[in-house]
Every structure is written in C-alpha cells, then in structure tokens.
Amino acid sequence: MVVTGRAVLLALAATVAVALSGLIGAEVTAVAMGVLVALLAVDVVLAASPKAMRLSREGDTSLRLGDSATVSVTVANPTRRNLRGSVRDAWPPSARAAPRRQPLRVAAGERRRVRTTLTPTRRGDARAAGVTLRSVGPLGLAGRQRTLPAPWTVRTLPPFHSRRHLPGKLSRLRELEGQHTAMVRGQGSEFDSLRDYVPGDDVRSIDWRATARGEGVVVRTWRPERDRRILIVLDTGRTSAGRVGDTPRLDHAMDAALLLAALAGKAGDRVDFMAYDRRTRAQVRSSGKGSQVGRIVEAMAPLEAELVESDPAGLVGTVLGTQGRTRRLVVLLTDLNAAALEEGLLPRLPALTSRHLLLVAAVRDPAVDRMAAERGGADALYRAAAAERTLGERRRVTAELRRMGVEVVDADPEHIAPALADAYINLKARGRL
Amino acid sequence: MTAEAPAAPPQAPPPDRTPPPEGSRALRVWRSVRVPAAVVAALVTVSVLLSLGAERFPTGHLEPESVSPDGTRALVNVLEQDRDVHVTRSSAAAEEAVAAAGDDTVLAVFLDHRLLPEELDSLAALDVDTVLVRPSTRSLEAFAPGVEMTGREESEGFLETAPSPGCDLPAAEAAGDAHVAGELYTAPSGAVGCYPAEDGHALVRVRGDGTTTTVLGTGRPLTNTALDTAGNAALALNLLAAEDVVWLRPDPPQQEGGAGLWELLPSGLRWSLVPLVATLALLALWRGRRMGALVSESLPVVVRASETTEGRAGLYQSRKARDRAAAALRSGFLERTVPKLGLSADAAPEAVVAAVAERTGDDPGHLRSLLHPGRPDPYAGDDDSLVRLADELDERARRLR
C-alpha cells in the first residue's frame, strides 16, 4: 500500500473541515474519516495489480569501466486495468543507475519499455536487484507496490587505459621485425626470407651463397621468434589490495597485463593468463592464433583482491604442473614486498627459472618516494627514514631476483604498462624468449 | 574461456533475494534492544528499592499519621493500645464511622474550619460525645450553642505556663496541670469551665441531651512534642475515654468545577485532532515509503599501499628511534650513491669513504663518522643532530650528482 501527496491533501482538507465544523464536530469527523478511508480503499482496490505484470529484460551485458550501458525492462500488462504509477529498476549503488525512478503508464494489454542507464564506478559484475512497480489507483490517492525479480547481470570490464601506448609499442615491434617503413634491418634470431639487396642494407646480412646462385645481390632478413608462449600471472593476494593513488595495485597490474597481452598477440606469441592467490581465481588458455585480449578482459572483470597471503609454492606448482613443458615467458605481476617474496617465492624460484624465463613486474608507490624526500623537522625525517627503509628492502629484493636470473620491472603506476611492454620487446629483441 | 567464478563476496545477496531467516532477524532485534532494556530495568529496580527504604509520613498540624513535632501520631498510638481509633478524613466518613461504632464513642474534631456549614450541622446532630479542638465560630454555634470565644492567651513558649484545672470535671481534675493555653471561651450556665484564665476558660464542657460536647481551646497538648509534659497526656486520654474514638481531621476541600482550556475549545477544533493524526500518518507514509528495498553491496577494501610505511614512520616517531632512522637514511644515501661512484654494491666502507672524499673534497674522518659511524652514533643523540645528518647527506648527494 502506498499513498500519494493527493491523499495527504485530502486528509488535510478533512482536518480543516472538521476544525471549522463547530458544535457538530463528532458527526463531521465520522463522515470525513469514513469518506477518506473509503476513497483510499477504493483506490487501492481499483489500482492495477503490480504483481500481475510480466517483466522481461534486454540490453547491454558488458561495458568498459568509465562507459555507460543501457539496460531496459519491458513491462507487459496482461490485466484489464491500466497501470499508472512509477517504476524503479534497482541496481547496486556503485552501478550508478539513472534515472532512479521514472513514471510509467501501461494500458491494459500493452507493454512498455523502461530504459535505465548504468555508469558503474567499479569493475566487476553488477546484478539487478529487482524491479519495483508502484501502481496508483484511478483517483490518484493510493495504490499498491511490489518488487518483482528481473535478473540481469552487467559486467564492467577493466578500462584498459594503457591502450594509448599500444600504437607506439607496436611500431617498435615492427621495427624489430624489419617491417618498419624506415627499412631498418630486422633484428632477431629467426631466419625469415631472402630478398634483393637495396642500398642501405647492412652488408653483413648479404647471403653470399644465394648471391652466387642468382643474378643480383641477395640479403637475408631476420625476424624475431614467433609463436613463443607467454603466461601472465596476476597475484590477487593481499598485497594487490593496496591502493596506489586511487586505484588498487591489482587494477594497475591488470592494465599492464592487458597492454602486454595485446602486444604479444600482435607479435604472434601465444598468451595465457592466470590469476592466483591461494588458488586459481581465473584462467585463460590460448587457443591457436588470434588475440586473447578480449577473453582476458572478460576473465579479469570479476577479479577482486583477496585478503589472504598469496601462496607462491602453489603458484610455482601450478605454473609448472598444468602449463605444459615448453619454455615460456612467465610474467608475474605482484608487489616487491620483501617479507612475502623472501619467504615464499625466492626459495622456489630455481624450479621455475630452470624451465621458464621469469619476469616480475611490480607497481611502485610514488607516495613512498615522496615520503623519502620529506625534510624539515625530526618528524618528517622519521617518515623519510621509514620510506628509505621500504625502498631499501625493495632494492634488496630486486637485486636478489636479478641475481637469480629474473627480469624485474619496477615502475610507477603511470609507467608500469609501457615499462612492461618495453621489457617484453627487449627480451624479444635479444631473442631470449 | 575457463575463468572460474570468483568466490562469492561475503554479503553478496543471492540472485533470488530470499529474505534472511527469521531466527537471525529476531536475534538482530534482540541484540539492538537488550542494552536499552537492561538500562531501563536497572533504573526501575533502583528507584523501587529507593522508594522502599524511604517511607513517607504525611505532615501537617495535628495530623494523626505525622511524626513531626506538631503531629499527633504519638497520641493515636497510645489510644490504639486499649481502644479502637478510626481516623477519618471527611465528615461523611466520620458519620459512617460513628454509625458503625458502638454506644461508647467519642468523636474528636480537628481543623473544623475545613468543613462546610451543612456538614457541621449534620455532625452536630449525631448522637455522640464530641471533643472539639479549637473550633471555628460556626462550629461552636452548631455543636455548643451558648459557648462564645472570648479571648486568646497564647505565649511564645507555651510549654512554660501550665494552668491548673480549677474545676470539678473529673477528666481535668485527674490530669492536673496541662498546657492548654489557647482560645478562651465563656461557660454558659449548665456548662463546666476548666483551666480558667482572665477572659474565660480554656476547656468548656457542655451537656446536651444525653451527650456532651467538650471544647478545647488548643490542640497543642495533643501534639507529639507536648504529649509527655505535665498532664497533657492524661488530659487527652481522659477526654477521649471511650471504646471507640472517631478521629476527624478533614482534608482541605477540593476545588471543584471550573473549565480548562480543553473544555473551552469548540468541539470541532477538538475533533479535528483525529483527521490531523490521520493526515500526519498519511504524510509519513507518503514521504517514507521507499521504492523497493535498499540494495546492499560488498565494498572493496580501501587501504593505501603505503600504509605499512606510514605505520613504521609512526613507530619510529613514537619510540624516538633515532638510531634506526639514521641508519635507514644512511643506507638509502649509500645505495643511491655507491653505484654512481663506480663501486660495487658490497664495496668496503673504507673504499666508499675514500671515493666520496675524493669527489667532494671532504675530510675522510668526518665522512667516516657521517657514513659509517662507530658506537655511539654521533648523529643519533637528539632530533637536531638527526636533522643535521639529513642535511649533510643531502649536501653530499647534491655535490655528487
């Protein structure tokens, strides 16, 4: 049961009438209250039953964080009364559903579509909480209300801000392959093809044997290895929950991972993806050629940082056990947290590095760097000293990892994605994949 | 895609939105109510216990329940030992008590100015011995016509003067001297006047047809204070010598009639409260009714990544850990500087000091105490020297850049 402002006005009018009635107050009160109650009851009874409405949904199922999605509910009115009132399509607060409520009129036997725009502020799945229908009677005094289920899920994908770095990195990659317009000789270790010499080619790349067989001078071209396997591992343990700037480490890492996946896909490498803390949270296996970015984005969307300590032993075991025996580049996106890494990962590294090439990428917190530079007064120095201590531990772990043959990328949130892409391109250029 | 479904967040509602089980709801209500309920229960208990300890006695002049100096509880208690005392508060109750009592009854009337003339008349018409204590003029007319008030003899300390009876009334004679100084009355013919003073008698007994009316000019000899001095107690007991004593001390007459503001309002205005309440209820329902339930959402953890570093800074600061702070600042400086000097990270301290001294031109001895101090650390003494250490390190770093 709901009432409208009109019912309040009616009751107010009844109050005034009774107040002015003088000596026959009791009788006027009885009549006024009786009329009021009767009108409200008639309106409630005559309102179209919201329970009888049939709902169906359609609309977007996924969007990138920062974009908007439109989801619509179709309200069908199978009753013989006209539905007049309002409707609210309820979503979790972070989905920013708008408008919150909208007027609705559905004539008997007709249907009407209600659109709601979602602008989520968080990555992940948003589930519709239900559609509330409010049906007001013909007098507009009172009515009925009912919340009906209309399940729908909209998945908000990671924003992939680092897309803007992709063209630049791809051109570096093409440079590597010799396809660049500057006609630079392709670097790399894999024999690609023979072609005619053009002035400007490196004379060291002339294939004398082929030249002797044919008419003109022939050079060999080289290209980087293709079809290498890359495994991107996202650490979703407690260290990934910390916020650098306004965004958790996990989201910075996702951004970097997506750029790397896009780049590696273009370079012809196979990209697998795994998210792990104490168990596998998400996994994408490459299936043949083609970019895996879309599938990785889908897999990343519902991931949240778990407040548990990651299990490096389980991680190493999973990588070694289930990911085949071929050599691959394992990119571990985690935090260079001295305690966690020294206790967990370092002792188990040899098993991993003996078979695969490991690259550890970590987001560095600029706030700590700023703290280390604080001066003026003893209190600022205590903060600076604590920051120096953190940075020192980070340097120590980095040095330790490098000594064990691990590539380390440690960069600010703005630079982690391009830095990781550069590291990958460098490895490719050196033929280390 | 083989992405596993993420673990359900702790309070994520199931898609079909089943209401929470009834048990947990009752539990929640109980949890929210129990503390206020306990407080209220404690307050009630304490106030009940306090009120039990403090028995309150009514107060007032000649009040039979009062233990204050001008009360008469002592006399009533004494009387109750060998006769029935009926304490009444209105003339109607007194009449009933007189009617219910036996033949041998005394009606003692106090503060009779509180009684209406018609009540006085109806009491006077009763067939019973009466003792009037300091009666009003109207009461004298009703009970003892002919007895007039002639004067008043009241001393400041009334216990000082105890007149002697001076009459042949057995009750007064047996009691002897008593503190009866108060209003004085004439004794008409046929009446007995006792305790004579200049203007009249303090005690007058008039005989009617079969009953007697005794007028006492003051109630003071009956009060708790005066009862145990001179012949006061004996006089009182003698005057009230009967099997049943009906003690009438009327309550002040209640104000009756008159109209409050509520009665003066027109009935329409009074009745308009009903639709007004209905209006307010509808208003609350209109504004308060929500379109569907609130949607809950499990929010992510909000913790800054630099939290542990900040925490360590707080620890250093609160414990004044200058030695550790100095060591951290030094090692930070060295780790940044040593690679620039072309030395390996694990170069010997002496080599580092020599290299820095060569590049900056500083005194190697001073540099040694700055970079690799012995114990005690000269820069960890107080906050000022810690600041000096930071300044000197920054200066070296600038020069080595």
Closest Cα in chain A, distance from residue B223 (Å) = 57
Report the amino acid identity of residue B157: G
pLDDT at B164: 77
Check whether residue A142 and residue A33 sit in a common domain: yes
Contact A15 B332 (CB under 8 A): no
Q: Do the domain assignments include residue A172?
A: no
What mean pLDDT is predicted for residues B93-110?
A: 85
Strands A229-235 and A328-334: parallel
Distance CA A253, CA A123 (A): 14
Written as six digits, the tokens of B398 are 């600038």
Q: Do the domain assignments include residue A250?
A: yes
pLDDT at B145: 81
- Give, in order, the Cα–Cα distances in Å from A145 to each of A83, B287, B290, B293: 12, 14, 10, 12
Q: How many CB atoms lie within 10 A of CB A112?
A: 15
Q: Do the domain assignments include residue A170?
A: no
Check whether residue A277 and residue A415 sit in a common domain: yes
Report the amino acid identity of residue B203: L
Check whether residue A187 and residue A241 sit in a common domain: no
Distance CA B195, CA B227 (A): 17
Closest Cα in chain A, distance from residue B73 (Å) = 53
**For the residues of A191-255, what is the DSSP string, one character each?**
EEEEEE--TTS-GGGB-HHHHHHSSS-EEEEEE---S-EEEEEEE-SGGGTSEETTEEHHHHHHH
Q: Can you say whether residue B255 is alpha, beta or left, with left for phi > 0 and alpha for psi between -120 and 50 degrees?
A: beta
Q: Which residues contact B154 (CB under 8 A, 6 or more apart)?
A: B181, B182, B218
Q: Which residues contact A59 (CB under 8 A, 6 or more apart)?
A: A69, A70, A71, A72, A115, A152
- The angle subtended at Cα A89 by Cα A83 and Cα A93, nearest 5°, is 155
pLDDT at A192: 67
Disruptive mutation site among B280, B291, B393 for chain A (greatest number of A CBs within 10 Å): B291
Last residue of a domain, one of A223, A250, A280: A223
**Surface of A (69-128) touching B: CB under 8 A:** 86, 88, 90-94, 100-101, 122, 127
Give the dihedral of Cα atoms A98, A100, A106, A110; nearest 10 deg. 40
Which residues from chain B sit within 8 angstroms of residue A365, using beta carbons? 305-306
Distance CA B327, CA B330 (A): 5
Give the dihedral of Cα atoms B207, B211, B216, B217; nearest 10 deg. -60
Give, for all 433 residues of chain A, the pLDDT tens digit: 899 999 999 999 999 999 888 788 888 899 999 999 999 999 999 999 999 999 999 999 999 999 999 999 999 999 999 999 999 999 999 999 989 999 999 999 999 999 999 999 988 899 999 999 999 999 999 999 999 999 999 999 999 999 999 999 988 888 776 543 333 445 555 666 777 888 877 777 788 888 888 788 888 776 666 678 899 999 999 889 999 988 899 999 999 999 999 999 888 888 999 999 999 999 998 876 667 888 999 999 989 898 888 888 888 888 888 656 788 899 999 988 888 788 888 888 888 888 899 999 999 999 999 999 988 888 899 999 999 999 999 999 999 999 999 999 999 999 999 999 999 998 888 777 7
What residues make up the domain containing A282? 229-429
Which uninterrupted H or E stretch holds B208?
A: none
Check whether residue A199 and residue A317 sit in a common domain: no
Which residues from chain B sit within 8 angstroms of residue A12, using beta carbons? 279
Proportion of chain B above pLDDT 70, given as a percent: 90
Check whether residue A372 and residue A317 sit in a common domain: yes
Contact A304 B6 (CB under 8 A): yes
Sign of CA dihedral B287, B292, B294, B300: negative
Distance CA A269, CA A188 (A): 14
Of A29, A304, A388, the CB nearest to B329: A388
Closest Cα in chain A, distance from residue B12 (Å) = 10
pLDDT at A187: 53
* A294 in B contact zone (CB under 8 Å): no
Check whether residue A19 and residue A119 sit in a common domain: yes
With H, G, I as helix, E, B as strand and everything else as coil, classify residue B16. coil
pLDDT at B13: 42
Q: Do the domain assignments include residue A255?
A: yes
- Give, in order, the Cα–Cα distances in Å from A197 to each of A326, B196, B337: 37, 161, 49
Task: Convert the pLDDT of each residue in B335-382 to its tens digit.
Answer: 888 888 888 877 888 888 888 888 888 888 888 888 888 777 888 888
Check whether residue A408 and residue A265 sit in a common domain: yes
Q: Do the domain assignments include residue A396?
A: yes
Check whether residue A241 and residue A310 sit in a common domain: yes
Written as six digits, the tokens of A46 are 């005559």
* A282 in B contact zone (CB under 8 Å): yes
Of B269, B301, B313, the CB nearest to A382: B313
pLDDT at A46: 94
Check whether residue A266 and residue A393 sit in a common domain: yes
pLDDT at B18 over 50: no
Disruptive mutation site among A57, A297, A382 for chain B (greatest number of B CBs within 10 Å): A382
Last residue of a domain, one of A170, A205, A223: A223
Structure-token match 């089980």, residue found: B21
Q: Do the domain assignments include residue A165?
A: no
Which residues from chain B sit within 8 angstroms of residue A21, using beta carbons? 268, 271
Distance CA B389, CA B391 (A): 5
Last residue of a domain, one of A126, A157, A188: A157
* A245 in B contact zone (CB under 8 Å): no
Of A8, A29, A244, the CB nearest to B305: A244
- Give, in order, the Cα–Cα distances in Å from A298 to each of A60, A157, A254, A406, A410: 14, 7, 12, 29, 26
Q: How many CB atoms lie within 10 A of CB B59?
A: 12
Say if residue A365 is exposed, middle or buried (CB neighbours under 10 Å; 0-12, 13-18, 19+). Answer: buried
CB contact at 8 A, A200 and A165: no
Contact A91 B289 (CB under 8 A): no
Q: How many CB atoms lie within 10 A of CB B62?
A: 20
Report the amino acid identity of residue A203: V
With H, G, I as helix, E, B as strand and everything else as coil, classify residue A83. strand
CB contact at 8 A, A257 and A163: no
With H, G, I as helix, E, B as strand and everything else as coil, classify residue A54. strand
Distance CA B61, CA B157 (A): 17
Q: Do the domain assignments include residue A167?
A: no
Of A20, A241, A371, the CB nearest to B268: A20
pLDDT at B2: 40
Tell me the backbone φ, ψ of residue B128, rounded to 5 degrees.
-155, 150
pLDDT at B134: 85
Of A302, A335, A392, the CB nearest to B328: A392
Strands A83-90 and A102-106: antiparallel
Closest Cα in chain A, distance from residue B15 (Å) = 7
Check whether residue A116 and residue A264 sit in a common domain: no
Is the preceding peptide bond at B10 cis, omega within 30 degrees of 0?
Answer: no
Check whether residue A276 and residue A424 sit in a common domain: yes
Closest Cα in chain B, distance from residue A92 (Å) = 5
Q: Domain count of chain A?
A: 3
Q: Do the domain assignments include residue A173?
A: no
CATH code for the domain in which residue A104 is found: 2.60.40.10
Q: Which residues contact A379 (CB under 8 A, 6 or more apart)?
A: B317
Tell me, rounded to whole angstroms, the distance of Cα A6 from its chain centroid.
Answer: 47
Quote the mean pLDDT of chain B. Answer: 82
Tell me the backbone φ, ψ of residue B28, rounded to 5 degrees.
-65, -45
CB contact at 8 A, B170 and B176: no
Written as six digits, the tokens of B383 are 């906050």
Contact A18 B291 (CB under 8 A): no
Say if residue A205 is exposed, middle or buried (CB neighbours under 10 Å; 0-12, 13-18, 19+). Answer: middle
Of A295, A303, A389, the CB nearest to B1: A295
CATH code for the domain in which residue A257 is found: 3.40.50.410
Distance CA A312, CA A345 (A): 5
Tell me the backbone φ, ψ of residue A276, rounded to 5 degrees.
-145, 135
pLDDT at B22: 54
Kindly state the DSSP code that residue A343 receives in the 8-state scheme. I
Task: Convert the pLDDT of each residue in A394-428 to its tens digit.
Answer: 999 999 999 999 999 999 999 999 999 999 998 88
pLDDT at B80 over 80: yes
Which residues from chain A sit within 8 angstroms of residue B283, using beta carbons? 8
Check whether residue A246 and residue A296 sit in a common domain: yes
pLDDT at A178: 58
* A318 in B contact zone (CB under 8 Å): no
Which uninterrupted H or E stretch holds B131?
A: strand B129-133
Size of interface A-B (CB pairs under 8 A): 229
Contact B4 A15 (CB under 8 A): no
Order of strands, sheet of A153-157, starting from the edge strand that comes earlier in the sequence = A62-64, A153-157, A124-127
Q: Can you say whether residue B219 is alpha, beta or left, with left for phi > 0 and alpha for psi between -120 and 50 degrees?
A: alpha
Contact A382 B275 (CB under 8 A): no
pLDDT at A189: 55
Which residues from chain B sit within 8 angstroms of residue A246, using beta carbons? none
Written as six digits, the tokens of B301 are 């953890």
Disruptive mutation site among B11, B17, B272, B379 for chain A (greatest number of A CBs within 10 Å): B272
Written as six digits, the tokens of B176 are 């002897």
Q: Can you say whether residue A424 is alpha, beta or left, with left for phi > 0 and alpha for psi between -120 and 50 degrees?
A: alpha
Distance CA A4, CA B341 (A): 81
pLDDT band at B14 (very low <50, low <70, confident <90, very high): very low
Q: Which residues contact A231 (CB under 8 A, 6 or more apart)?
A: A271, A272, A273, A274, A319, A323, A328, A329, A330, A331, A356
**For the residues of B230-254, what is the DSSP string, one character each?**
TTHHHHHHHHT-SSEEEEE-PPPPP
